[in-house]
Amino acid sequence: MQNVILRGKKTIREIDVRGKRVLVRADFNVPLDEDGAIADDTRIRASLPTIRYLCERDARVILCSHLDRPKGVVEERLRLALVANRLSVLLDRPVVTLQDCIGPEVESAVAAMNGGDIVLLENLRFHPEERAGDPAFAENLASLAEIYVNDAFGASHRAHASVVGVPEHLPAVAGLLLEKEVDAFTRILENPERPFAAVIGGAKVSDKLEVLENIIPRVDALIIGGGMAATFLASRGYGTGASHVETDRLDAVRKLEERATELGVRLLLPRDVVVAERLEAGVPVRVVSATEIPDGWVIADIGPEAADEFSRELGGARTVVWNGPMGVFEIPEFAEGTRRVAASLANLSGTTVIGGGSTTDAVQRFGLADQMTHVSTGGGAALTMLAGKPLPGVTSLDDAGTP
C-alpha cells in the first residue's frame, strides 16, 4: 500500500543504495537514568529496520543524531558511545563510535569503511552550528556521504543543519521509520475510520491550541483532560482553585467550544477531578466535582466518573488519536486517569495512534504500548502534524520522480 503524505517524496526504497556511503539522520535522543545509562531504548529499536535495510544492501552506513541539549559544547555524559553499544547488541554487529561528526579524522574513518560497516558520528549538538542550521556545517556533514536518509521523525519539525541543510547537497530520501510515522498521522487526519475521537491533555492549552483548531473539524468527539482542562472550565465560569488558568486563552477556548457545537462534535470535559494542594507524592488528595474545586487545590488528574465517561466514549470509536496525559501520571496518586484512558485504547479494535512525548511514556509505563496501532517516537513532530503544519524534515526531501 502506498503511503499517504510521502507519495510526493522519495523513500529509501526508490534509490539505489548498494555499496554507497549513506548518511542516516537518526533520532537517538534517548532518556538517560541517574547513572547515565539508557533508561529506554525505544527510539534505538525504532531505527533498526532502516539500518538493517541498508546493511543488507552493503551500504556503508554513517549514522548521526543528537542527544539531549548540550548547547554546543562537549558533555562527556552525552557522548553517543552508549548508543553505539546498544545498537551493536541489537544488530549483532559492530557499530564504531567516532569522536566527532566532522573533520579529518571522521573523513578518514569513513573512507576506510567497507560495505555493511556502520559508524556513529558524535553528538551533533556538541556543535552549535547544528541547531543554528549553519550551511557550512551541513555541507561538511554532507561531504561524508553520497546519499542522505532522514529517519529522525522526532527531529523533523526542526530546521537544523542535519535535517534541512544536508538535503541541499545530496540525494535525500525518507527512511522506513519516518515513512511509517508520517503515514500513520496522515491517514487518521485525512481518511479516518469513523467514529473518530481525539484525546488531548497536558498542562497548557497554548501548547495544543493549533492542534485543537486543526482537529475539531475532523473528529466526531474531542476529549479534554490534564491541567489544560482548568482553562476550559474557567472559560465556562467555574472556579478552578489554584489550578493554572491561561487567561489569555479563554476567548480562544470559547471559540473552540462554539466551533465544536456548530460542527456537532461532542466535546467532553472531566465531570470530576482529583485535586491536591501540591503536585507531589504522598500529599492528601480529594475527588471533587469539576465545578466545585476548592480554593488552594489544583487539578492533578481526572476523576473516576470522568474516566468512566471517557472510556465509554472511546469504546465506541473506530479511530483514536491521543496526545497529552490526563494527569501527572508520573506520581502514583495522579496516574489512574491516564491509565484508564490507556487501557480503553488498548482494548479498542480500531486504530489507535499515540502522539509521542509524555503520552508515549505513559503507555510504555503501563505496559500497553504493544497493544496500540502506532506509538510515535516524536512528540514535537507529532504535534506539528496534528496541527496540520508541514515538517521541514519532510519538505526538504527529494520529490518522487526526480532523477
Is the pLDDT confidence value at 8 over 90? no
The mean pLDDT of the chain is: 95
Q: Which of 20, 21, 43, 340 is catalytic?
A: 43
Give pLDDT tens digits for 121-148.
Answer: 999 999 999 999 999 999 999 999 999 9
Average pLDDT of span 42-56: 97
Active site (annotated) includes residue 357 = yes
Q: So what's the pLDDT on residue 343?
A: 97
Angle value at C-alpha 15, between 30 and 51, nearest 5 degrees: 25
Domain boundaries, the chain: 5-178, 192-386
Average pLDDT of span 96-120: 98
Active site (annotated) includes residue 19 = no
pLDDT band at 183 (very low <50, low <70, confident <90, very high): very high
Give pLDDT tens digits for 270-307.
Answer: 999 999 999 999 999 999 999 999 999 999 999 999 99
Q: Which of 204, 259, 271, 286 is catalytic?
A: 204
394 sits in which H/E element: helix 392-395
Q: So what's the pLDDT on residue 6?
A: 62
**Can you count the helices (H) and strands (E) in the chain?**
15, 15
Q: So what's the pLDDT on residue 66?
A: 98
pLDDT band at 180 (very low <50, low <70, confident <90, very high): very high
Active site (annotated) includes residue 278 = no
Q: Are strands 118-120 and 60-64 parallel, antiparallel or unpaired?
A: parallel
Give the CATH number of domain 192-386.
Answer: 3.40.50.1260
Top CATH class, 5-178: alpha beta
Q: Which of 116, 133, 239, 380 is catalytic?
A: 380
Q: So what's the pLDDT on residue 363?
A: 96
Give pLDDT tens digits for 85-103.
Answer: 999 999 999 999 999 999 9
Is the pLDDT confidence value at 3 over 90? no
Is the pLDDT confidence value at 109 over 70? yes
pLDDT band at 356 (very low <50, low <70, confident <90, very high): confident
**What's the grid cell of residue 94?**
559492530
**What's the grid cell of residue 77?**
555524559
pLDDT band at 1 (very low <50, low <70, confident <90, very high): very low
Q: Which of 303, 337, 357, 379 is catalytic?
A: 357
Is the pLDDT confidence value at 335 over 60? yes
Q: So what's the pLDDT on residue 189?
A: 95
Tell me the residue type at 44. I
Average pLDDT of span 169-186: 97
- Quote the pTM value: 0.93
Average pLDDT of span 104-128: 98
Q: So what's the pLDDT on residue 7?
A: 62
Q: So what's the pLDDT on residue 368?
A: 97
**What's the grid cell of residue 199?**
484525546
The answer to whether the CB of 232 falls within 8 A of the CB of 269 is yes
pLDDT band at 59 (very low <50, low <70, confident <90, very high): very high
Q: So what's the pLDDT on residue 4?
A: 41
Average pLDDT of span 203-215: 95
The answer to whether the CB of 353 falls within 8 A of the CB of 130 is no
Active site (annotated) includes residue 204 = yes
**Over pLDDT 70: what percentage of the chain?**
98
**Nearest residue to 327 via CA among 360, 355, 304, 301:** 301
pLDDT band at 2 (very low <50, low <70, confident <90, very high): very low
Q: How far apart are CA 78 and CA 376, in angstroms?
A: 23
Is the pLDDT confidence value at 151 over 80? yes
